Structure 1
Amino acid sequence: MAETSQYLTLGLAGETFGISIRNVREILDMRPISRLPHAPHFLLGMIDVRGSGYPIVDLRLKLDLPSTAATEATRIIILDVPVGDRLVGVGFVADCVFEVTDIDESSAEPAPEVGGRWKSDYIAGIGRKGDKFVILFDLAKLMAHTSLPAAAARDDHAPAAA
């Protein structure tokens, strides 16, 4: 039997990416973000969600893609990201969210090695959904070497039950 896992699929610059549903805490509509002085270019700032502060990362900028204005479809995905030996609550801005879908991890292919500027170290693999490819994020590698505001570190929150 195929080894399938559930992924939240999201759109970014015309491509489809997947994040393991185990890491997803909630999905929010775009909202005002409080800027942080001297933050890295991809760290848009912080938002408050029910009394907790979360740093917000623009996935486009983190992946060296061109920035774009928010639309009605833009979403903030609140995730539990593994950083070292703890989980850190981080919000990722995505162009849109598609669905939660099953992806056969056993048939996922490694990211192609093409050399040059293409950064693939954040990719856990390339999955398939029908005839489309889904780029699966490795959140730990994506956020490696990223310093986040101290307020983001929390290991006292378990992921919300669905």
Structure 2
Amino acid sequence: MSSVWQYLTLGLDRETFGIDIEYVHEILDYREVSALPQAPEFLIGMIDVRGQSYPVIDLRTKLGLPRVPPTPATRIILLNIPMEGRPMRVGFVADRVFEVTELDGSELERAPEVGGRWRSNYIAGIGRKGDAFVVVFDLPELMSSESSALLAPARAA
């Protein structure tokens, strides 16, 4: 029996990633972000969306890719990720957003264990969309090591 899940697909560099649609709150055009002093490099600052504060993460930096200037295709994806028993609001900057697509959960492949700088712990699986691969994020795992750095500015706001 197949289990089909919906994912928001986004692009970083030449790769396609997927985020479980249940975590996605909203997709915004890129806007200026208020910088936070002494924040980790991947945390580019905060934005206000209708009275709600969101720390904003540069996914490129988080994944070890070089930072690039925003383009007309750059988006901020607002997410609610369950962390430590409660939802954490966070925005991810992506080079571009493609679509909501379905992937068969039973056909997701495990991330390869190749060692070195490659960190597969934040990957829930790798799916296929036609001939392309979609790397599906395990968002709680991706955020777990930095949750304390992110929760502090969110609480202060």
Q: Same fold (TM over 0.5)?
A: yes
Partners of 1:47 and 1:63 lie apart in 2 by 21
Contact 2:123 2:138 in 1 (8 A): yes
Map Cα deviations across residues 115-152 of structure 1 (whole Å, 9 max, x no partner): 11111111000011111110000000100121214353
Higher fraction of helix: 2
Question: TM-score scaled by structure 2?
Answer: 0.94
What runs of 5+ residues in structure 2 fail to find an aligned partner? none
Q: 1:66 matched to which residue of 2?
A: 66
Question: TM-score scaled by structure 1?
Answer: 0.91
Q: 1:156 matched to which residue of 2?
A: none
1:121 aligns with 2:121: yes
The alignment covers a number of residue pairs equal to 153
Q: 1:158 matched to which residue of 2?
A: none
SS of 2:144's partner is coil
Partners of 2:29 and 2:47 lie apart in 1 by 12
Partners of 2:72 and 2:117 lie apart in 1 by 32
Q: 1:5 matched to which residue of 2?
A: 5
After TM superposition, list the pairs within 5 Å mapping 1:16-95 onto structure 2.
Answer: 16-95=16-95
Could you tell me how far 1:2 is from its partner in structure 2? 2.1
Contact 2:88 2:151 in 1 (8 A): no
Partners of 2:154 and 2:17 lie apart in 1 by 24
Give the root-mean-square deviation of aligned CA atoms.
Answer: 1.1
Stretch of structure 1 that moved more, 80-89 or 98-107: 80-89
What runs of 5+ residues in structure 1 fail to find an aligned partner? 154-162
Structure 1 segments of 4+ aligned residues over 6 angstroms from their partners: none
